[in-house]
Protein backbone atom coordinates (compact mmCIF):
# COMPACT_ATOMS: atom_id res chain seq x y z
CA UNK A 1 0.00 0.00 0.00
CA UNK A 2 1.65 3.26 -1.09
CA UNK A 3 1.51 6.58 0.77
CA UNK A 4 1.42 10.20 -0.44
CA UNK A 5 5.18 10.33 0.21
CA UNK A 6 5.84 7.14 -1.83
CA UNK A 7 3.86 8.59 -4.74
CA UNK A 8 5.78 11.90 -4.57
CA UNK A 9 9.01 9.90 -4.73
CA UNK A 10 7.89 7.84 -7.70
CA UNK A 11 7.13 11.09 -9.59
CA UNK A 12 10.81 12.02 -9.40
CA UNK A 13 11.50 9.82 -12.47
CA UNK A 14 8.39 11.05 -14.39
CA UNK A 15 9.49 11.75 -17.97
CA UNK A 16 7.32 14.44 -19.65
CA UNK A 17 8.37 13.44 -23.19
CA UNK A 18 7.47 9.78 -22.59
CA UNK A 19 4.17 10.76 -20.98
CA UNK A 20 3.27 12.93 -23.99
CA UNK A 21 4.22 10.15 -26.37
CA UNK A 22 2.12 7.61 -24.45
CA UNK A 23 -1.04 9.71 -24.35
CA UNK A 24 -1.06 12.58 -26.82
CA UNK A 25 -0.25 11.00 -30.20
CA UNK A 26 -2.41 8.56 -32.23
CA UNK A 27 -4.29 6.37 -31.50
CA UNK A 28 -5.29 8.26 -28.34
CA UNK A 29 -5.08 11.62 -30.09
CA UNK A 30 -6.33 10.75 -33.56
CA UNK A 31 -8.75 13.47 -34.62
CA UNK A 32 -9.93 11.47 -37.63
CA UNK A 33 -11.24 8.73 -35.29
CA UNK A 34 -14.57 9.59 -33.59
CA UNK A 35 -13.72 7.08 -30.80
CA UNK A 36 -10.45 8.80 -29.98
CA UNK A 37 -10.25 9.53 -26.27
CA UNK A 38 -8.68 12.97 -26.69
CA UNK A 39 -11.46 14.07 -29.06
CA UNK A 40 -14.00 12.95 -26.42
CA UNK A 41 -12.26 14.98 -23.70
CA UNK A 42 -12.07 18.12 -25.85
CA UNK A 43 -15.77 17.86 -26.73
CA UNK A 44 -16.81 17.55 -23.05
CA UNK A 45 -14.79 20.64 -22.15
CA UNK A 46 -16.00 22.59 -25.20
CA UNK A 47 -19.66 21.83 -24.47
CA UNK A 48 -19.42 23.08 -20.86
CA UNK A 49 -17.60 26.22 -21.97
CA UNK A 50 -20.19 26.92 -24.69
CA UNK A 51 -22.97 26.99 -22.04
CA UNK A 52 -22.35 30.69 -21.38
CA UNK A 53 -22.35 30.05 -17.62
CA UNK A 54 -18.61 29.85 -17.00
CA UNK A 55 -16.27 32.85 -16.91
CA UNK A 56 -14.52 35.43 -14.76
CA UNK A 57 -11.13 36.77 -13.79
CA UNK A 58 -8.94 33.80 -12.85
CA UNK A 59 -8.82 30.24 -14.17
CA UNK A 60 -6.41 27.78 -12.55
CA UNK A 61 -5.48 24.43 -14.07
CA UNK A 62 -4.51 22.04 -11.26
CA UNK A 63 -1.73 19.56 -12.12
CA UNK A 64 -1.26 20.66 -15.73
CA UNK A 65 1.61 18.24 -16.24
CA UNK A 66 3.29 18.92 -19.60
CA UNK A 67 -0.10 19.50 -21.32
CA UNK A 68 -2.33 22.43 -22.30
CA UNK A 69 -5.18 20.71 -24.19
CA UNK A 70 -7.35 20.82 -21.06
CA UNK A 71 -7.62 24.64 -21.09
CA UNK A 72 -8.13 25.16 -24.83
CA UNK A 73 -11.83 25.97 -24.46
CA UNK A 74 -11.93 27.43 -20.94
CA UNK A 75 -9.04 29.90 -21.26
CA UNK A 76 -11.12 32.07 -23.61
CA UNK A 77 -13.59 32.83 -20.78
CA UNK A 78 -11.09 34.27 -18.26
CA UNK A 79 -8.81 37.30 -18.09
CA UNK A 80 -5.93 35.36 -16.53
CA UNK A 81 -4.94 31.70 -16.74
CA UNK A 82 -2.58 30.04 -14.26
CA UNK A 83 -1.00 26.67 -15.06
CA UNK A 84 0.37 24.58 -12.19
CA UNK A 85 2.33 21.41 -11.59
CA UNK A 86 4.06 19.53 -8.79
CA UNK A 87 7.16 18.81 -10.88
CA UNK A 88 9.68 21.37 -12.14
CA UNK A 89 10.26 19.24 -15.30
CA UNK A 90 6.61 19.66 -16.24
CA UNK A 91 6.59 23.39 -15.51
CA UNK A 92 9.68 23.69 -17.75
CA UNK A 93 7.96 21.71 -20.52
CA UNK A 94 4.97 24.09 -20.35
CA UNK A 95 7.23 27.16 -20.49
CA UNK A 96 9.01 25.69 -23.50
CA UNK A 97 5.67 25.61 -25.35
CA UNK A 98 4.53 29.01 -24.05
CA UNK A 99 7.77 30.59 -25.31
CA UNK A 100 7.69 28.65 -28.60
CA UNK A 101 11.10 27.13 -27.94
CA UNK A 102 12.65 24.35 -30.05
CA UNK A 103 11.60 20.84 -28.97
CA UNK A 104 8.26 21.94 -27.53
CA UNK A 105 5.35 19.53 -28.03
CA UNK A 106 3.09 20.39 -30.99
CA UNK A 107 -0.37 21.24 -29.64
CA UNK A 108 -1.37 22.54 -33.10
CA UNK A 109 -3.65 19.58 -34.02
CA UNK A 110 -5.44 19.87 -30.65
CA UNK A 111 -5.96 23.63 -31.06
CA UNK A 112 -7.12 23.09 -34.63
CA UNK A 113 -9.63 20.49 -33.42
CA UNK A 114 -11.04 22.84 -30.75
CA UNK A 115 -11.38 25.57 -33.40
CA UNK A 116 -13.36 23.16 -35.56
CA UNK A 117 -15.67 22.26 -32.62
CA UNK A 118 -16.24 25.99 -32.03
CA UNK A 119 -17.02 26.37 -35.74
CA UNK A 120 -16.13 30.06 -36.03
CA UNK A 121 -13.70 29.47 -38.88
CA UNK A 122 -10.88 31.03 -36.90
CA UNK A 123 -7.31 30.13 -37.93
CA UNK A 124 -5.98 27.92 -35.09
CA UNK A 125 -2.76 29.94 -34.87
CA UNK A 126 -4.79 32.88 -33.50
CA UNK A 127 -6.12 30.76 -30.64
CA UNK A 128 -2.58 29.54 -29.93
CA UNK A 129 -1.33 33.14 -29.76
CA UNK A 130 -4.17 34.17 -27.43
CA UNK A 131 -3.53 31.25 -25.07
CA UNK A 132 0.18 32.04 -24.89
CA UNK A 133 -0.70 35.64 -24.00
CA UNK A 134 -3.39 34.71 -21.49
CA UNK A 135 -1.21 32.42 -19.30
CA UNK A 136 0.21 34.69 -16.63
CA UNK A 137 2.05 32.15 -14.46
CA UNK A 138 3.23 28.54 -14.29
CA UNK A 139 3.53 27.73 -10.60
CA UNK A 140 4.03 24.79 -8.22
CA UNK A 141 1.05 22.97 -6.72
CA UNK A 142 0.54 20.28 -4.12
CA UNK A 143 -3.06 19.12 -3.82
CA UNK A 144 -2.29 17.38 -0.53
CA UNK A 145 -1.67 20.73 1.18
CA UNK A 146 -4.63 22.67 2.66
CA UNK A 147 -3.49 25.64 0.50
CA UNK A 148 -2.41 23.81 -2.68
CA UNK A 149 -0.88 26.95 -4.26
CA UNK A 150 0.82 28.19 -1.08
CA UNK A 151 1.01 31.96 -0.89
CA UNK A 152 0.54 32.46 -4.67
CA UNK A 153 -3.26 32.37 -4.45
CA UNK A 154 -5.33 32.70 -1.30
CA UNK A 155 -8.39 30.53 -0.58
CA UNK A 156 -11.64 31.69 -2.17
CA UNK A 157 -10.01 33.78 -4.93
CA UNK A 158 -10.34 31.59 -8.03
CA UNK A 159 -13.32 31.79 -10.42
CA UNK A 160 -12.86 28.33 -11.95
CA UNK A 161 -10.64 25.27 -11.87
CA UNK A 162 -9.75 22.81 -14.58
CA UNK A 163 -7.99 19.57 -13.65
CA UNK A 164 -7.27 16.48 -15.71
CA UNK A 165 -5.92 13.16 -14.42
CA UNK A 166 -4.27 14.80 -11.43
CA UNK A 167 -6.01 14.06 -8.12
CA UNK A 168 -6.34 10.30 -8.58
CA UNK A 169 -2.83 10.11 -10.07
CA UNK A 170 -1.18 11.48 -6.93
CA UNK A 171 -3.44 9.96 -4.24
CA UNK A 172 -2.86 6.55 -2.65
CA UNK A 173 -6.58 5.86 -2.16
CA UNK A 174 -10.10 7.28 -2.43
CA UNK A 175 -10.04 9.11 0.97
CA UNK A 176 -6.85 10.91 -0.11
CA UNK A 177 -8.54 11.85 -3.42
CA UNK A 178 -11.52 13.25 -1.50
CA UNK A 179 -9.22 15.24 0.79
CA UNK A 180 -7.34 16.59 -2.25
CA UNK A 181 -10.68 17.62 -3.79
CA UNK A 182 -11.49 19.43 -0.55
CA UNK A 183 -8.13 21.24 -0.67
CA UNK A 184 -8.59 22.51 -4.22
CA UNK A 185 -12.24 23.40 -3.52
CA UNK A 186 -10.93 25.85 -0.92
CA UNK A 187 -9.35 27.89 -3.72
CA UNK A 188 -12.69 28.49 -5.43
CA UNK A 189 -15.04 31.41 -4.91
CA UNK A 190 -18.61 30.46 -3.92
CA UNK A 191 -20.47 29.76 -7.17
CA UNK A 192 -17.19 28.90 -8.93
CA UNK A 193 -16.95 26.10 -11.47
CA UNK A 194 -14.77 22.98 -11.74
CA UNK A 195 -14.17 21.06 -14.95
CA UNK A 196 -12.51 17.78 -14.07
CA UNK A 197 -11.44 14.86 -16.21
CA UNK A 198 -10.33 11.74 -14.37
CA UNK A 199 -9.35 8.12 -14.77
CA UNK A 200 -11.82 5.40 -13.80
CA UNK A 201 -10.65 2.10 -12.34
CA UNK A 202 -6.99 2.68 -13.12
CA UNK A 203 -4.24 1.26 -10.89
CA UNK A 204 -1.09 2.52 -12.69
CA UNK A 205 0.33 4.43 -15.61
CA UNK A 206 3.80 4.71 -17.13
CA UNK A 207 5.89 7.78 -17.94
CA UNK A 208 9.34 6.60 -19.03
CA UNK A 209 11.16 4.95 -16.09
CA UNK A 210 8.36 5.94 -13.74
CA UNK A 211 5.46 3.62 -12.90
CA UNK A 212 2.91 5.69 -11.02
CA UNK A 213 0.21 4.13 -8.91
CA UNK A 214 -3.29 5.58 -9.24
CA UNK A 215 -6.19 5.60 -6.76
CA UNK A 216 -8.73 3.32 -8.44
CA UNK A 217 -12.44 4.12 -8.14
CA UNK A 218 -15.71 4.13 -10.02
CA UNK A 219 -17.95 6.68 -11.73
CA UNK A 220 -20.38 6.60 -8.76
CA UNK A 221 -17.54 7.33 -6.31
CA UNK A 222 -16.41 10.30 -8.40
CA UNK A 223 -19.92 11.72 -8.44
CA UNK A 224 -20.34 11.13 -4.68
CA UNK A 225 -17.08 12.94 -3.87
CA UNK A 226 -18.36 16.11 -5.60
CA UNK A 227 -21.84 15.89 -4.07
CA UNK A 228 -20.48 15.34 -0.54
CA UNK A 229 -18.17 18.33 -1.02
CA UNK A 230 -21.18 20.60 -1.58
CA UNK A 231 -21.07 20.92 -5.35
CA UNK A 232 -24.00 20.91 -7.73
CA UNK A 233 -23.17 18.57 -10.61
CA UNK A 234 -23.99 20.40 -13.83
CA UNK A 235 -22.85 17.67 -16.21
CA UNK A 236 -21.37 14.21 -15.79
CA UNK A 237 -20.20 12.00 -18.64
CA UNK A 238 -18.17 8.83 -18.89
CA UNK A 239 -16.19 7.09 -21.60
CA UNK A 240 -15.29 3.41 -21.76
CA UNK A 241 -11.78 2.83 -23.06
CA UNK A 242 -12.14 0.93 -26.37
CA UNK A 243 -9.64 -1.85 -27.14
CA UNK A 244 -8.06 0.36 -29.82
CA UNK A 245 -7.02 2.90 -27.14
CA UNK A 246 -5.38 0.31 -24.86
CA UNK A 247 -1.75 0.80 -25.82
CA UNK A 248 0.06 -0.80 -22.87
CA UNK A 249 0.92 2.41 -20.99
CA UNK A 250 -1.70 2.08 -18.23
CA UNK A 251 -4.65 -0.08 -17.21
CA UNK A 252 -7.32 2.66 -17.31
CA UNK A 253 -10.84 1.26 -17.90
CA UNK A 254 -12.65 4.53 -18.51
CA UNK A 255 -12.71 8.28 -18.07
CA UNK A 256 -15.11 10.61 -16.31
CA UNK A 257 -15.92 14.23 -17.03
CA UNK A 258 -17.46 16.35 -14.29
CA UNK A 259 -18.68 19.92 -14.57
CA UNK A 260 -19.52 20.97 -11.02
CA UNK A 261 -20.44 24.27 -9.41
CA UNK A 262 -19.57 25.19 -5.83
CA UNK A 263 -22.70 26.20 -3.92
CA UNK A 264 -22.99 29.89 -3.09
CA UNK A 265 -23.42 29.07 0.59
CA UNK A 266 -20.22 26.99 0.99
N1 LIG B 1 -3.03 17.20 -16.57
C2 LIG B 1 -2.14 16.40 -17.37
C3 LIG B 1 -2.93 15.55 -18.33
O4 LIG B 1 -4.14 15.78 -18.47
O5 LIG B 1 -2.37 14.70 -19.00
C6 LIG B 1 -1.15 15.59 -16.52
C7 LIG B 1 -1.74 14.55 -15.65
S8 LIG B 1 -0.49 13.48 -14.95
C9 LIG B 1 -1.31 11.92 -15.03
C10 LIG B 1 -0.58 13.81 -13.23
C11 LIG B 1 0.07 15.11 -12.84
O12 LIG B 1 -0.07 15.31 -11.43
C13 LIG B 1 1.57 15.16 -13.11
O14 LIG B 1 1.84 16.25 -13.92
C15 LIG B 1 2.20 15.31 -11.75
O16 LIG B 1 3.39 16.06 -11.74
C17 LIG B 1 1.08 15.95 -10.95
N18 LIG B 1 1.22 15.71 -9.50
C19 LIG B 1 1.91 14.76 -8.85
N20 LIG B 1 1.82 14.91 -7.53
C21 LIG B 1 1.04 15.99 -7.32
C22 LIG B 1 0.59 16.68 -6.16
N23 LIG B 1 0.89 16.25 -4.93
N24 LIG B 1 -0.19 17.77 -6.33
C25 LIG B 1 -0.52 18.21 -7.58
N26 LIG B 1 -0.11 17.60 -8.71
C27 LIG B 1 0.65 16.50 -8.59
pLDDT in tens, 84-134: 999 999 999 999 999 999 999 999 999 999 999 999 999 999 999 999 999
63 lines ligand 1 (CB under 6 A): yes
In tens, the pLDDT along 205-263 reads: 999 999 999 999 999 999 999 999 999 999 999 999 999 999 999 999 999 999 999 99
Q: Taking 90 as the threshold, does the pLDDT of residue 266 lie above it?
A: no
Q: Which long-range contacts (CB under 8 A, 24 or more apart) does 77-80 make?
A: 77/49, 77/160, 78/134, 78/159, 78/160, 79/134, 80/134, 80/136
Percentage of the chain modeled with pLDDT above 90:
97
34 pLDDT tier (thresholds 50, 70, 90): confident
85 close to ligand 1 (CB < 6 Angstrom): yes
Spell out the long-range contacts of 118-125 with Cβ–Cβ below 8 A and sequence spacing 24 or more: 118/46, 118/50, 118/73
Q: Which pLDDT score, from 0 to 100, does residue 89 have?
A: 98
Whole-number average pLDDT of the chain: 97
- The domain containing residue 180 runs over which residues? 4-262
Number of C-beta neighbours around residue 187 at 10 A = 22
Binning pLDDT at 50, 70 and 90, where does residue 35 land?
Answer: confident
**165 ligand 1 Cβ < 6 A:** yes
The residue whose C-alpha atom lies closest to atom 17 belonging to ligand 1 is: 63
Q: How confident is the model at residue 163 (pLDDT cuts 50, 70, 90)?
A: very high
Total domains present in the chain: 1
Ligand 1 pocket test, candidate residues 85, 88, 215, most atoms within 8 A of CB: 85
CA dist list (Å): 32 to 109, 202, 221, 265: 11, 26, 33, 44
The verdict on the CB of residue 144 being under 6 Å from ligand 1 is: yes
Rounded distance from Cα 242 to ligand 1 centre (Å): 24
Please report, for the domain that includes residue 129, its CATH number: 3.40.50.150
Amino acid sequence: MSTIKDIAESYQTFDPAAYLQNNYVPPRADFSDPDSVVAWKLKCLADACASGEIGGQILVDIGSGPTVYQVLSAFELFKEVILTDFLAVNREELKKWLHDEPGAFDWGPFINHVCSIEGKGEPWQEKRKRLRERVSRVIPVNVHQPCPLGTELAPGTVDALVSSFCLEACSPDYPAFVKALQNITGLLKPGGHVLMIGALEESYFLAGEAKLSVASFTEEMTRKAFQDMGYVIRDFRSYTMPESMKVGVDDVKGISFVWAQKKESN
